[in-house]
Structure 1
Amino acid sequence: MKNYISKSIFSALTIFGFSFFTTAQSPSTNEALGNIALTSYVPEQIENLPSGAENLLINKLNQITSTNGIAASGIDSRFIITANINVLTKDMLATAPPMTALTLDVTFYIGDGLDGKKYSSQTVSVKGVGTNENLAYMEAIKGINVNDESIQNFLSNGKKKIINYYNTRCAQIIKEAQALQAQLKYDEAIYKLTAIPEECTDCYNKAVAIIAPMFDKMINRDCKLKLAQANNLWAANQDVATANQVGEILNSIDPQAGCYNDVKTLSAKISKRVLDLEQREWDYKIETDVNLKRDLIKAYQAVGVAYGNGQAKSVVYNVQGWW
């Protein structure tokens, strides 16, 4: 069962050959379908940000979200958590060695980074001491308490605004997804629908109901395309090297696809040919029992995540006027 589910998800991820990329945010995508996710973003507008502090601040933003039950997005989602920092005080301490003491005001923001709408903000004051200004600055950032009640309230307010965004635009989002489906852009359509949070109960349920037949159409189309490719390769050359190449294609086809019986038939032919040629079993064994329950939610999310990570650009966020 475990092997089957993993294979289904792998198939969803490899349907269109997406590759993963990294941006200035969380390097992993751990969110489940229905969770609100925020992209951690540090803009260039933060003045005098010391070298090395950007990653530290990104990590702190990720820590704030994950500690308080919000997923850190590994892709460029429209909703972001960001920060601005102001130096309130700077003192030189007459110690051995001399130390620099800083007091920073760190203001956090949550909002729609594409529309440029700020949803929530909160300022906390922190202090840091170091042998130079850069180290003092970074020590102050490390000292931000992610469990602070004011930060939790800030996140709660931002979350409410995000839920309202989806609730008020549900019909439009679904319509856009259906238009993408009509263009055979199943992966992008599923990506759009899987972004709807579970807290938006009615809209979330509508989205899941729409994704199910959409997902079936996607895996059926993928099956036909890959099976045709596999048949053409095998018809051209029936040696072991080609068999292995075809095996990789067949193993990426979802076992629940409508043409999977044809996949099994071709696989059996290749297995017999390899046995005749090399007197051994073929290394590629496809799924033969398709009567197992699929973890659909994970399969849907895998497609959405693969699409988001497969985009060859980083989103340019608009935070103008937030501070």
Structure 2
Amino acid sequence: MVKKLFIFIISSLCFAFGLKAQTDNGIGRICLNPYIPESEGLGEQSYSMLISKLQQIATIGGMSGAGFDNRFIITAHVQKIKSSQTETIPQKNTVHLNIGIYVGDGLDGILFSSYMSENKGIGNSEDQAMAYAIKNINAAQPQLQEAIALGKQRILDYYNKIADGIINTASASASAGNYDEAVNMLFSIPMTNGKYETAQVLIAQYASKSLENKNMTLIRKAYSAWNTNQTEQGAADASEILEGVQAPSTKIQSEVTKLQKEISSRLKTESDREYQLRTKEQQNAHDKQMAAIKAAASVAKTYAASRPKVIYRHMWW
């Protein structure tokens, strides 16, 4: 009976996750990370405009969002063909730029696709003129989006080759207790990949174990807060800590109830906080599943953001 219940919960989690994945940015999608190296030497305005333009290009190509794998980049290389000043009053700066836009594997330095564009701009400074030239790039230009589509297909081909390896590595990380790391790896497998559903099942399992560990840590902190100060203030501190519990399992609920009874016995009363927390525990199964999924995605994004800054190798291909 317990085994059947476990299978049902995991299946429900995956179904709910599949629905949510289609609406959340980055989940189950291939995402390109806009990247401009410092070596470009761009001014503040032109740099900001170029990052914005690369994001716009990726968005039109369906490849924007906060993804879980930062190895794939959309980048650009700007070359000045001509730069001059007008003879008008006030004087203006004009530029003629050759802008190369590239999609590739920034970690291995592999170019997937590219597009070249020549653009002119005018402004009160050379930086402003360059920003206007960059702004004039048509992000929806068919040849440009064809290059983006080609890059996307090559990324999908890449995942088709390594999906089994990702799952094996993630499983090994989970076996070592590194559930957040494992979940982050599995989130990178896109919806179109044949191993996507397998990855979702594992995400549900590892996310549940990760949450269980985090919830137990909160319970220990709550016990410590109460044991340190067995007064109404100590009870309030413990209850506040317990409010951080997410998608509690039967074991976690039992531990929370045990502490609540101990507090109530000591203080001869139950606080409103405890009643509210008990109500929260009695949420329906769907709400608990969605909470677990949301927490897993949040943990994965936080984990990805905390990793060392990626050093991309591009050499302007």
CA distance in 2, matches of 1:85, 1:59: 15
Q: Is the 8 A contact 1:244 1:284 kept in 2?
A: no
Residue equivalent to 1:237? 229
Q: Which sits farther off after the overlay, 302-311 or 150-159?
A: 302-311
Q: Deviations over 1:211-244 (max 9, x none)?
A: 1211222222223333233223322322233233
Q: Deviations over 1:108-140 (max 9, x none)?
A: 111111111111111112110112322211111
Identity of aligned residues (%): 31
Counterpart secondary structure, 2:104: strand
Q: Deviations over 1:79-132 (max 9, x none)?
A: 111110011222433322222221111111111111111111111121101123
| Larger RCO (CA under 8 A, 6+ residues apart) | 1
Q: Which runs of 5+ in 2 are unaligned?
A: 1-23
Letter in 2 for 1:203: K
CA distance in 2, matches of 1:64, 1:235: 57
The aligned runs of 1:47-66 (5 Å cut-off) are: 48-66=41-59
Decide which of 247, 262, 265 is 1:255's aligned counterpart: 247
Decide which of 12, 16, 34 is 1:40's aligned counterpart: 34
CA distance in 1, matches of 2:298, 2:275: 24
CA distance in 1, matches of 2:215, 2:116: 53
The aligned runs of 1:1-323 (5 Å cut-off) are: 31-46=25-40, 48-73=41-66, 77-200=70-193, 202-266=194-258, 268-269=260-261, 272=264, 281-282=272-273, 285-286=276-277, 287-293=280-286, 294-295=289-290, 297-311=293-307, 313-320=308-315, 322-323=316-317
Equivalent pairs counted in the alignment come to 290
Q: Is the 8 A contact 1:234 1:243 kept in 2?
A: yes
Question: Larger % of helix: which?
Answer: 2
TM-score by length of 2: 0.82
Residue equivalent to 2:19? none
Could you say if the C-alpha distance between residues 34 and 91 of structure 1 is closer, same or farther in structure 2, counting changes exceeding 3 Å?
Answer: same
TM-score by length of 1: 0.80
Q: Which runs of 5+ in 1 are unaligned?
A: 1-29
- Runs of 4+ aligned structure 1 residues displaced above 6 Å come to none
